[in-house]
Structure 1
Amino acid sequence: MAESITIARPYASAVFAIAQEKGDMQAWSELLTVLAQCAATPEVESILVSPAVSDEQAVNLLADITGELSTDARSFLLLLAENNRLLLLPEIAELYEELRADAEQMLTADVITARPLSDEQKSKIAAALKKRLGKEITLSESVDESLLGGAIIRAGDLVIDGSAVGKLNRLASAIS
């Protein structure tokens, strides 16, 4: 996986530069999401890796699935096909989204709580993270009753463990 990400990074950076230059980051985001889903299906994957399928045929297949492709999109897919990198579309899409979020000063924060949060609590957490990190925050909420209480927040490299279990573990470590 790490090798795939390393190989996919320059392609994601290139397509991001094109999207940013043309001012259509959202359109590329949508296209890459669909292409990534296509490339990840076993049926399409088997066609894309088949030596009997030419690069042009592979790109035409993806174009048929996604609808009409722009000249830039077709050229990008042909480049991927020529370099046997079409199966990296999921990684390219993931890296593209990271680049886009960074450029748009956006960040998704994962919030794990023992009980569902109220709208007011969500707003307060998002506002505090925005103030601390300087980015627009989108919350991704999940519930884990084993936390007993409190919350764990993961936003980029920042991890805040305010769960009751986390506090008990820190207390146990301090005592021993």
Structure 2
Amino acid sequence: MAELSTLARPYAKAAFNAALDSKHLDAWSTQLSTLAAISQHETVERLIANPELSAADKAKTLQQLAGDALNEGGSNLVSVLAENRRLALLAEISEQFEVLKAEQEKTADVLVTSAFSLSDSQQKTLADKLTAKFSRQVQLTVEIDESLLGGVVIRSGDTVIDGSVRGKLAKLAEAMNS
């Protein structure tokens, strides 16, 4: 949802800048993912949406649930989000933070969907070629989807490379029907 993304962006950037300044990217990543997971629990979602609870009470409860996973900066972020009635954005903030972190570290998570299982050497070759193409270190995740008939579909963020037989047949059918 674009609105959630827009609302979460300044908080994600602020958290990312705080993490960079303190040189604790991994710690911030962990605490944000912890907060995101907590905030998506059904009971916590009801707590966040409860208009009868004060912002301070909501923040305190989340901070207690997170426990030692929060440092001072993370605790302050929770308080600010509670005051601004933005606690429901925690999952989106965490997601955007991870994108910024991957950009900083020059890494990319790539999902490869293949019609057949790939050998270790094929995965290494593919990872090396994708590392060169994306100019960043690639972490491959491979899934099997026999409906592709053959070939692979590669996804990284907004980039999709469809080298599957099914995809090529769909393009051919589209061209013939035009």
Deviation at 1:70, TM superposition (A): 2.3
For 2:47 and 2:173, the matched residues in 1 are separated by 56
Counterpart for residue 65 of structure 1: 65
Letter in 2 for 1:133: F
For 1:173 and 1:63, the matched residues in 2 are separated by 54
Of stretches 9-18 and 69-78 in structure 1, the one that deviates more from structure 2 is: 69-78
The Cα offsets for residues 18-59 of structure 1, whole Å up to 9 and x where unpaired, read as 001101110111111111011111101111222232222212
Counterpart for residue 149 of structure 1: 150
Deviation at 1:140, TM superposition (A): 1.9
Counterpart for residue 88 of structure 1: 89
Give the TM-score normalised by structure 1: 0.93
Deviation at 1:146, TM superposition (A): 0.6
The Cα offsets for residues 84-125 of structure 1, whole Å up to 9 and x where unpaired, read as 000100000000000000110011111111112111111111
For 2:134 and 2:18, the matched residues in 1 are separated by 28
Residue correspondence of structure 1 range 8-19 to structure 2 within 5 A: 8-19=8-19
Counterpart for residue 113 of structure 1: 114
For 2:112 and 2:162, the matched residues in 1 are separated by 10
Give the TM-score normalised by structure 2: 0.92
For 1:162 and 1:94, the matched residues in 2 are separated by 28
1:56 matched to 2:59? The reply is: no
Of stretches 5-14 and 72-81 in structure 1, the one that deviates more from structure 2 is: 72-81
The Cα offsets for residues 122-143 of structure 1, whole Å up to 9 and x where unpaired, read as 1111100001111010112211
Letter in 1 for 2:27: A
Counterpart for residue 23 of structure 1: 23
* Ranges in structure 1 where 5+ consecutive residues have no aligned partner: none
Counterpart for residue 127 of structure 1: 128
SS state of the match for residue 32, structure 2?
helix
Counterpart for residue 138 of structure 1: 139
Of stretches 166-175 and 54-63 in structure 1, the one that deviates more from structure 2 is: 166-175
For 2:22 and 2:153, the matched residues in 1 are separated by 39
Of stretches 136-145 and 154-163 in structure 1, the one that deviates more from structure 2 is: 154-163
Deviation at 1:173, TM superposition (A): 4.4
Deviation at 1:175, TM superposition (A): 5.1
For 1:16 and 1:175, the matched residues in 2 are separated by 49
1:162 matched to 2:177? The reply is: no
Judging changes above 3 Å, is the alpha-carbon distance between structure 1 residues 85 and 174 closer, same or farther for their aligned structure 2 residues?
A: closer
Letter in 1 for 2:4: S
Counterpart for residue 42 of structure 1: 42
